[in-house]
Chain A
């Protein structure tokens, strides 16, 4: 399966009245995770999060595509 670039955030247990709600829920969760952290702590949290999610994705083809996308296109 190729890298998903269409909106994909969803929250199966929750009724979402608005199409932007799951993405906004995620974004708040992410920013909230960084609250009160130093710059170094935030960088470490991000690194750990990337590793965890990369393992969850697992498929090297997808990960290569994602890395190439952010590396080349900025």
Chain B
């Protein structure tokens, strides 16, 4: 049923992912695989951020977050108050979904669940090699080592939102903005 999935070339998936994520009001930037490039992107995307919560990465090389740790206001660990007061949170994600523009985040890996939830903005780092075609792929044992069948995770598709107060409002109980840095 999903046989066509595996053959799609990576860049085609990246392009599809970018278009879908933007349609879901996420911002997407392609970034080279370097610690400095990621730190520069965070500063460019959230220029006013005074407090930046950083979660230990799980699926991208930890070294890639090293320059971000040196940004002014960057911190790891902390309590509810610290995370809730942060302007931005930085995490990695273990998968992207081309059709929907979603990213998949492991909510059970140390502070990643909080860092992606409580700060005003969320910056998610995604390896372009980990983009799958459609949501259903996450439930296949042969895709990403069956990560979607075993991990505790969340598909995130755009910033938190509500339509309950009339028009669509972006920024409900979770982040008001989400930026995806696609490592190419």
Q: Do A and B bind each other?
A: no
State the B residues within 8 Å of A (CB). none
